[in-house]
A and B are shown apart, each in its own frame.
Chain A
């Protein structure tokens, strides 16, 4: 059974810091992994999608890496800003047996001005 864990559960950093959010999954047979951002009371905004054959993806100040064999992905945020404050969720899509995305519980990030 696929389980997804995100560490830390919450993080508070001063503006300008570079930071890393971690996502681990127990079954390496994944199709892809997607990172999302969620603002309080809102839906999910897609940030990055990494295919199982890829090692990393970049979008602006965001960089996501994937190490499928060790069951880990990291989301790197450069030069953090107060507007980055949100909950960050990772989700894995398994290769076989199911169509669903399985989510972690998220990392709640607060960037202090």
Chain B
């Protein structure tokens, strides 16, 4: 297992289009997080899954954003009707339960033009 995998690495889309990102966590990691990071800032929390249950969601996540984790394995983050302000790096992280380290993927860089 090579770590948390995110796809695609880069995405350029026109304003108003829908985009979907995928995250494959480390095997057996039942906790999964999505974060968003803009230039010069620390990552901001978007949402958290424990197995397939979405247990926490940030107010940053407008109704245009939705995340799923069917079967508690990979997760997808969809942004509908993209806006220029959605341009950012979208990061996924996973970890085991208990007091364990979180591991991040390489991120998906979204540019909305």
Size category of the A interface is 20 to 34
Residues of B within 8 A of A43 (CB): 4, 6, 91, 104-107
Contact of A101 among B55, B100, B102, B109 (CB under 8 A): B102
> Would you call B1 an interface residue if the criterion is a C-beta within 8 Å of the partner chain's C-beta atoms?
no
Contact of B91 among A32, A44, A102 (CB under 8 A): A44
Residues of A within 8 A of B101 (CB): 34, 46, 49
> Would you call B85 an interface residue if the criterion is a C-beta within 8 Å of the partner chain's C-beta atoms?
no
Residues of B within 8 A of A44 (CB): 43, 91, 93, 104
Contact of B56 among A4, A42, A100, A104 (CB under 8 A): A100
Whole-angstrom distance between the Cβ of B61 and the nearest chain A Cβ: 12
Given contacts A41-B89, A46-B102, A100-B33, could you give 13 more A-B pairs where the C-beta distance is less than 8 Å?
Answer: A4-B42, A43-B6, A43-B104, A44-B91, A46-B103, A51-B99, A89-B42, A99-B48, A100-B45, A100-B56, A100-B58, A103-B43, A105-B42
Which A residues contact B (CB, under 8 angstroms)?
Answer: 4, 31-32, 34, 36, 41-46, 49, 51, 89, 91, 98-106
